[in-house]
Chain A
Amino acid sequence: MNIDLSRRGFLRLAGAGVAATSLGAMGFGGAEAAEQAHVRAFKLASTTETRNTCTYCSVACGILIYSKGDLAAGETAEIVHIEGDADHPTNRGSLCPKGAALKDTVHSQTRLTQPRIRRPGSDKFEEITWEEALDKIARALKDDRDANLIQKNEAGVTVNRWTSTGFLAASATTNETAWLTYKVVRSMGIVGFDNQARV
């Protein structure tokens, strides 16, 4: 893993460019082409820099992610490098042994890439489509809610409570994901609802 790429690299590349241009202006027409032919382009020069936050602990260090391709411009973007954000007031560019290796979590060999199902009693996962997976989940939710929603308690108070389905949410997701999750889970009447803050 090369984690030693820095802004200094950009300066070196920029310097080489200036030198080549100057040589060209002085009449050495082939110099620029010759220069470019033997200077390998700096790796990050062609990447897109994106500001993000370390996904691990709640110090929430600022990070810069470098990608080949610009996601914001609608391109496919492959993450090639992650480093600390020197402008961030908390970490000022530094990262811990976890944060310094973030890229390998993004590209972990055990990242999930495909919806899968394990049938009752089976010893393996099988691939299914998103459509099949979401249809199956929605059907199961509807059937269980229809069967088990408690609309009124014994005293006749409206309670609209559903206890036979539960939902654990993730405290590494964004506030925005959390809010959408909250809306969906609560509107159905689910009360068995928690996140890692309980631990």
Chain B
Amino acid sequence: MTNSWTDIRNTDLVIVMGGNAAEAHPCGFKWVTEAKAHRGAKLIVVDPRFTRTAAVSDYYAHIRPGSDIVFLMATINWMIQNDKVQWEYVKNFTNAAFIVKDEFGWSEGLFSGYDAEKRDYDKSSWEYVVGEDGFAQVDMTLSHPRCVWNLLKEHVSRYTPELVEQVCGTPRDRFLHIAGMIGECSAPDKTMTSMYALGWTQHSKGSQNIRGMAMLQLILGNIGVRGGGMNALRGHSNIQGLTDVGLMSNLIPGYLNMPTEKDSDWATYMSKKGFKPLRPGQTSYWQNYQKFMVSFLKAMWGDAATAGNDWAFDYLPKLDVANYDILRMFEMMDKGQVNLYFCQGFNPLLSFPNRGKLTSALSKLKLLVVMDPLETETAHFWENHGEHNDVDTASIQTEVIELPTTSFAEDDGSLVNSGRWMQWHWAAGTPPGQAQRDTWIMSGIFNRVKKLYQDEGGPFPDAILNLTWNYADPHEPSAEELAKELNGRALEDVYDLKDPTKLLAAKGKQVANFSQLRDDGSTMAGCWIFSGSWNEDGNMMARRDNADPDETGAYLGWTYAWPMNRRILYNRASADMQGKPWDPTRKLIEWNGEKWTGYDVPDISPTAKPEEVGPFIMNPEGTSRLFTRGMMRDGPFPTHMEPFESPIANVFNPELRGNPVARVFADDLAQFATSDEFPFVATSYRLTEHFHYWTKHNRINSALQPEFFVELSAELAAEKGIEKGGWVRVWSKRGSVKAKALVTGRIKPMQCGDKTVHCIGIPLHWGFMGAARKGWGPNSLTPFVGDANVETPEFKAFLVNIEPIKGEAVS
């Protein structure tokens, strides 16, 4: 989230599209209710299903799964056509004025530079014109035909209300009503907030869905302000934290990048991290990259990381592909290229697509290690559970070790919520039986491997032998010790860069925040964005002052929000070019002539003059981006792409299938279906009473929602002869499931041009372990393909067929 849950109280309009907060985030959604009740805020919901969020909305429209980009680009087009633009914001705080190369263009669904064979773009034309002074050229009048604004205007001109009706199945009048409601928030004193979740991410173009809304929010001037923002609701309790700490194939903590083979040495790697400002006087904060990277390497390898060995840069593995993400690992596993696999609190057999392929892949491992508080389907993948897991146990040669871990209630530490609040919690109970903390288990594994390398030697043991491990108890480092490592400390005395006599942090002391990190090896920090969370003032994450002066929703004394305890990112953009709040009743920070002051920690240098320094300090432009240059694989603007399995051809180019640059493995391509054979669109969803595959182990939740079902419209049920509460079979080209039919009015057939599209909803909470009745999840059916930028699987739009089967109807 750019903002926080408690900030939603400040909004005028909530748009929930790509999410269902009332059911999936009920206690956070109460802030929407608060805004509606006490501020008169309105709620718009756009969703294929009439969800419980829709049930309390002021206006609802349905949309065909996977067509969101058309809706969003048409909304932007409507704003431009109807002059619903926050002009001062757009001109100064976005890259609307930047001039783009003449070679950049778009035709027939594709941007310039497409290579069909490589399924990739040559992105060299997706770039600004840079002048001889080294700065990007701009036209602040927005009249230059090649400025971003005019290119955007042309790009979105194709997305009309008629196209929305044809492609999304959303009636034209519904779309226009929503556009009108949104348009009101272009006024500087009106804000809209966007709340989205997996309904937008789980598509082969999920990143572009989100970009579409981010662009709309910028055009309305709604980023950086109270009650505005792009608010990813997110999933697990610490999914934000695990991303922040970089537990992903391509990440280093704090959103630094893993080196690739092209980064043959430290100098080459750092040469791409210059982040020279693209406009005069801009902050371009990533210019500090080297300080964060060296401090990370010092946290990893301590004294073994020196200037002489490039801070142990070669200790890090280098990638030869963009990602060894989960899809790629299961593809490799299925090809016999993976021997050992660890699942630490992760149940991929139910959470990744094409379960048949997952079972086949797991069966080819030598050893699977599962660390979990609960019995997972993954740990039991080899066990025959009849039709619910029909495997030939004896033929599966994979050895499986299942290790019992503590739960949240038996562990200390911090979690990052979706609003970036780092909240400390304390253990309350004794773990059951022999269950152990993950830190104890990881230490047990590491210390043993290290001993084997000490005793036996082996290839490149350096990174293992020299890993920093100076914990009081090497068998179980404490949460306090690890949190302090994440914050970072001075390894030598650290002085002010502008005043070398001023000592900032004495040797051995915790750094106050990331401004004290250095690139000369004198500091260490595991995760620079967490610096400030445990400094010499103590554990800031354990703070519990819930005071909220003037009820702004900021709660600055409650725990700690990264970065620097900021509660709303880009908050400098809440004020105009003179530093005065756009809306005085919703002041966040303001310029008092000398510095920025207000309710939040300024997201800019406190003394940066408002007319000189742009609010988007992480970007070399100093502005936000309506045009993302070459930073996304599938285009600098979002362009409509159909799901890989769709009943409708791409309206711009019927030859295109799915996202033209998404990675597709050959075997999976052969398993994509067409609507001739599989005529119905399916989408996955979640229920209030369950959390993923955990609560089916809880008898209360299992009693509340005991049994797997699928949801379909009364019209489709009538067409197929399906009874309410009757049994159905739903199958795709990859698998088949059996379920009770929930026949409702919550899903309606959609008219897309001359085609009637029926949609089937498939909740995801059942498996073959736990206290609930056995069932299946949507992943038995879904295609094995991910988003072109981040490889998040396409769970929200795929094709199935459905038929009634025998069994007693129970409704």
Binding site for B on A (CB under 8 A): 1, 48, 50-62, 65-67, 69, 71-72, 76-79, 82, 87-91, 94-99, 101-102, 104-106, 108-123, 125, 128, 130, 133-142, 144-146, 148-149, 151, 153, 155, 157-199
Which chain B residues numbered 18 to 35 have a C-beta less than 8 Å away from chain A?
Answer: 24-28, 30-31
Task: Name B402's closest neighbour in chain A (CB-CB).
Answer: A116
| Interchain CA distance A141-B402 in the complex, whole Å | 16
Asked whether A56 lies within 8 Å of B691 as measured between CB atoms, the reply is: yes
Chain A residue numbers with a CB within 8 Å of B690 are 98
Expressed in whole angstroms, the minimum distance between the Cβ of B405 and any Cβ of chain A is 7
- Nearest opposing residue in chain A for B258, CB measure: A191
A129 to chain B, nearest CB (A): 9
Q: B429 touching A176 by the CB < 8 A rule?
A: no
A166 near B338 (CB under 8 angstroms)? yes
Q: Does B426 contact A (CB under 8 A)?
A: yes
Contact between chains at A167 and B241 (CB < 8 Å): no
Does B699 belong to the interface (CB within 8 Å)? yes
A56 to B249, CA, bound (A): 24
Question: What B residues does A160 contact at CB under 8 A?
Answer: 314-318, 460, 463
Q: Which residues of B contact A106 (CB under 8 A)?
A: 407, 409, 429
B153 at interface by CB-CB < 8 Å: no
Q: Which residues of B contact A91 (CB under 8 A)?
A: 27, 30
12 A-B pairs in the complex with CB atoms less than 8 angstroms apart: A51-B425, A58-B233, A67-B428, A79-B428, A106-B407, A110-B770, A120-B398, A149-B459, A164-B337, A166-B329, A171-B237, A187-B463
Contact between B315 and A173 (Cβ–Cβ < 8 Å)?
A: no
Known A57-B24, A179-B485, A196-B236; 9 more pairs at CB < 8 Å? A53-B423, A58-B239, A110-B374, A121-B393, A125-B400, A125-B402, A160-B317, A168-B346, A182-B247
Compute how far the CA of A57 lies from the CA of B23 in the bound complex, rounded to whole angstroms.
Answer: 11
Contacts of B790 in A (CB 8 A): 198
Contact B467 A101 (CB under 8 A): no
Provide the residues of chain A in CB contact with B689, threshold 8 Å: 97-98
Asked if B449 lies at the interface with its beta carbon under 8 angstroms from chain A, I say yes
A192 and B343 CA atoms in complex are apart in Å by 12
With A98-B695, A161-B319 already in contact, the answer to whether A168 and B27 are too (CB < 8 A) is no
Question: Bound state CA distance, A96 and B26, in angstroms?
Answer: 6
Given contacts A117-B401, A168-B342, contact A161 B248 (CB under 8 A): no
Q: For B249, give its contact among A76, A177, A182, A193 (CB under 8 Å).
A: A193
Interface hit among B62-70, B138-146, B364-372, B568-576: B364-372
Chain A nearest CB: distance from B315 CB in Å? 7
Contact pick for A198, options B326, B394, B423, B558, CB 8 Å: B326
Residues of A within 8 A of B328 (CB): 192
Separation of A115 and B330 alpha carbons in the complex (Å)? 25
Contact with A along B765-798 (1 / 0, CB 8 A): 0000111000000000000000000111101000
Residue of B239, B242, B483 ringed by the most chain A CB atoms within 10 A: B242
Are the CB atoms of A174 and B411 closer together than 8 Å? yes
Contact of A191 among B202, B237, B249, B479 (CB under 8 A): B249
Q: Quick check: A79 and B409 within 8 Å, CB to CB?
A: yes
B27, A96: Cβ atoms under 8 Å?
Answer: yes
CA distance A48 to B427 in the complex (A): 11
Q: Are B482 and A101 in contact (CB under 8 A)?
A: no
CB <8 Å contact, B244 and A175:
yes
- Please indicate the chain B residues that have their CB under 8 angstroms from the CB of A104 in the complex: 698-701
| CB neighbors of A among B402-439 (8 A) | 402-405, 407-409, 411-418, 421-423, 425-430, 432-439
Most B Cβ at <10 Å: residue of A58, A66, A179: A58
Assess whether A188 is in contact with B428, with CB atoms less than 8 Å apart: no
B631 within 8 A of A: no
Pick the contact of B27 from A90, A179, A197 — CB < 8 Å?
A: A90
Chain A: CB-nearest residue to B686: A57
Q: How far is the CA of A180 from the CA of B437 in the complex (A)?
A: 12
B435-A177 in contact (CB<8A): no
Which of B485-508 touch A at CB < 8 Å?
485-486
- List the B side residues contacting A76 at CB < 8 Å: 430
Residue in A60, A136, A179 whose beta carbon sits within 8 Å of that of B245 in the complex? A179
- Complex contact B429–A79 (CB within 8 A): yes
Closest to B547 in A: A89
The docked-state distance in angstroms from the alpha carbon of A136 to that of B372 is 18
B6 touches A191 (CB 8 A): no
A189 touches B340 (CB 8 A): no
Task: Give chain B nearest CB distance to A57 CB in angstroms.
Answer: 5
A170 to B262, CA, bound (A): 30
* Chain A hits for B555, CB < 8 A: 89
Q: Which residue of A lies closest to B541 (CB)?
A: A175
Please, how many angstroms separate the alpha-carbon atoms of A87 and B383 in the complex? Answer: 46
> In the complex the two chains form, is B456's CB within 8 Å of A110's CB?
no
> If A89-B548, A198-B791, A198-B792 touch, does A77 touch B428 (CB 8 Å cutoff)?
yes
Contact B320 A161 (CB under 8 A): yes
Q: Cβ of A111 and Cβ of B340 under 8 Å apart?
A: no
Task: Choose, from B440-448, B641-649, B650-658, B741-749, the stretch at the interface.
Answer: B440-448
CB distance from B532 to the nearest CB of A (A): 14
